[in-house]
Amino acid sequence: MGTDGTNSGRLLDGITVVDLTTFVTGGFATLMLANQGAEVIKVERPGTGDDSRHSGPPFVDVEGYDGPGRAASKHGESPYFWTVNYGKRSVELNLKTDEGLEVLFDLIEEADVVFENFRPGTAERLGIAYEDVRAVNEDAIYCSISAFGESGPWSRRPGYDLLVQGMSGIMSVTGEEGGDPVKVGLPQTDLITAMWAAFGVVGALYRRELTGEGDRIELGMLDAALPWLTKQAGKTFVGEEPERMGTKDPVLAPYQSYPTADGYLNVACGNQKLWEELCEEIGRGELADDPRFESNADRVGNMDELEEELSATFTERTTDEWVEQLAEDAGLPVGPVFDVDEALSNEQVEARGVVGTLEHPAVGEIPSIEHPLNFSNVDSGFEEAPPLLGEDTDAVLDELGYSRERIEELRTSGAVPDE
């Protein structure tokens, strides 16, 4: 519901998305659209489905479920799959059969958006490239995602998040000083690419409203990651070499984690006033007058000495004590370092309703993580659980006008699996 309590529909109501992607890059992009009201029809390989259905452990057992759809993995349902597929519908189609392609194009004919993240050239071989789609739906927005894009010497290489984190420079600046390169703990470049893709599709839909024209969006994961280098790119542009710095920042200090009596405290002094107030609040007023730490540039140049001074003070008290004094009472930008469970379950997250629940057809109540866009005049949010594999195949075929006899023919031909 809108933040003013009204409910005026959802931003992308009436938009239909055909999602041919697997894993996270396309999946999270279409998830973002589903959160804003788009109907996302996830086309999956019969019997196997999206590769992320098999990502685990952990898995959740669905033994005894006898409704439409099924778990793709013999181990059960993957909670990882859930986090990228809330609110979608699942249709199993064998795109290597003529009949399966016929059904797909019937779907596409009624759709607004088509997503694919095949390796370049695959969509053409399958007969579902942009030109093929445009022949039946010239108004469609077609989004192609690949590891390195469709041009350049690396375009035909396969790629995953790990490879792109390494080739984008992210791993070279992640980890402890003097240590080995470290991958960010999240699938960061997958998610970066997904957000660019969703942004591009919504922009193309807006342009279509103005011009009546469809469009094709083509993006590579490596291209998508590079604009996020920001500070590190800025250093490179003037001939400096960014390095791994642990939790330190290349242009601000103090802006890092410090040990406390029982954990860690993040301290983020983004300007001189905050630095001076911090020194006063922790009883170290002399640090503000120390020539080594007088300006931000001085502090960045003497980070090791600054870390030693502040660590000696912060280890005198617990993290909670420092947070209460500095964040709650003094209004300074400090905070704890939570583990994932604490991040998902705390008073702030609960007050904002970020983590909720949805009713899964085979598992029952499952957690869901809401997306952060809160509009005043339109609704947003997930209303349905992630689908079981093929859960909506018959329903979608019915909506396309297929007779029961025709559906049975599709089963016989192998275009859709047996019930």
Q: Tell me what pLDDT residue 156 has.
A: 93
**Contact criterion met (CB below 8 Å) for 279 and 285:** yes
pLDDT, tens only, 197-221: 999 999 999 999 999 999 999 999 9
Strand partners, 267: 256, 334
pLDDT, tens only, 220-235: 999 999 999 999 999 9
Residue 256: band (very low, low, confident or very high) from pLDDT cuts 50, 70, 90:
very high
User: 188-211 and 23-35 helices cross at what angle (nearest 10)?
Assistant: 50
Query: What is the token pair recorded at 300?
Result: 């960045």
Name which residue leads in pLDDT, 238 or 5: 238
**Contact criterion met (CB below 8 Å) for 41 and 62:** no
pLDDT, tens only, 358-375: 999 999 999 999 999 999
- Which residue spans within 277-409 are E strands per DSSP? 334-336, 355-360, 364-369
234 HSE (CA, 13 A, CB side): 5
With a cut of 50, say whether residue 307 has pLDDT above it.
yes
Query: pLDDT over 90 for what percent of the chain?
Result: 96
DSSP sequence for 125-181 = HHT-SHHHHHHH-TT-EEEEEESS-SSSTTTTS---HHHHHHHTTTGGGSSSTTS--
pLDDT, tens only, 245-255: 999 999 999 99
**Contact criterion met (CB below 8 Å) for 39 and 17:** yes
Encode burial over 166-194: b for 16+ CB neighbours within 10 A, e otherwise. Answer: ebbbbbbbbbeeeeeebbeeebbbbbbbb
Rounded Cα distance between 103 and 94, Å, is: 10
With a cut of 70, say whether residue 6 has pLDDT above it.
no
With a cut of 90, say whether residue 33 has pLDDT above it.
yes
Q: Domains along the chain?
A: 16-227+351-413 (3.40.50.10540), 255-337 (3.30.1540.10)
With a cut of 90, say whether residue 317 has pLDDT above it.
yes
Question: 324, 375, 378, 372: which is closest to 352 by C-alpha?
Answer: 372
Q: Tell me what pLDDT residue 136 has.
A: 98
Tell me which of 19, 50, 190, 392 is the catalytic residue.
Answer: 190
Cα end-to-end distance, the chain, whole Å: 37
Q: Tell me what pLDDT residue 418 has.
A: 84
| Backbone dihedral angles phi then psi of residue 367, each to the nearest 5 degrees | -70, 150
Helix, strand or coil, per DSSP, at residue 358: strand
Mean pLDDT of 101-121: 97
Residue 52: band (very low, low, confident or very high) from pLDDT cuts 50, 70, 90:
very high
Rounded Cα distance between 90 and 389, Å, is: 6
Task: Give the list of residues 6+ apart from residue 229 with CB closer than 8 angstroms, or none.
Answer: 168, 169, 170, 236
As a whole number, the mean pLDDT across the chain is 95
Query: What is the token pair recorded at 281?
Result: 């609040």
190 is catalytic: yes
| Backbone dihedral angles phi then psi of residue 113, each to the nearest 5 degrees | -140, 140
Q: Tell me what pLDDT residue 56 has.
A: 86
Residue 8: band (very low, low, confident or very high) from pLDDT cuts 50, 70, 90:
low
Q: Tell me what pLDDT residue 1 has.
A: 38
Q: Tell me what pLDDT residue 7 has.
A: 53
**Contact criterion met (CB below 8 Å) for 43 and 30:** no
**Contact criterion met (CB below 8 Å) for 45 and 118:** no
User: 404-413 and 98-109 helices cross at what angle (nearest 10)?
Assistant: 130
- Which residue spans within 22-116 are E strands per DSSP? 39-44, 88-92, 113-116
Rounded Cα distance between 23 and 26, Å, is: 7
Rounded Cα distance between 41 and 33, Å, is: 11
Task: Give the list of residues 6+ apart from residue 61 with CB closer than 8 angstroms, or none.
Answer: 75, 76
**Contact criterion met (CB below 8 Å) for 405 and 100:** no
Which helix (DSSP H) or strand (DSSP E) does residue 276 occupy?
A: helix 272-281
**Contact criterion met (CB below 8 Å) for 42 and 134:** no
Which helix (DSSP H) or strand (DSSP E) does residue 192 occupy?
A: helix 188-211
16 HSE (CA, 13 A, CB side): 15
Which helix (DSSP H) or strand (DSSP E) does residue 251 occupy?
A: none
Rounded to two decimals, what is the model's pTM? 0.94
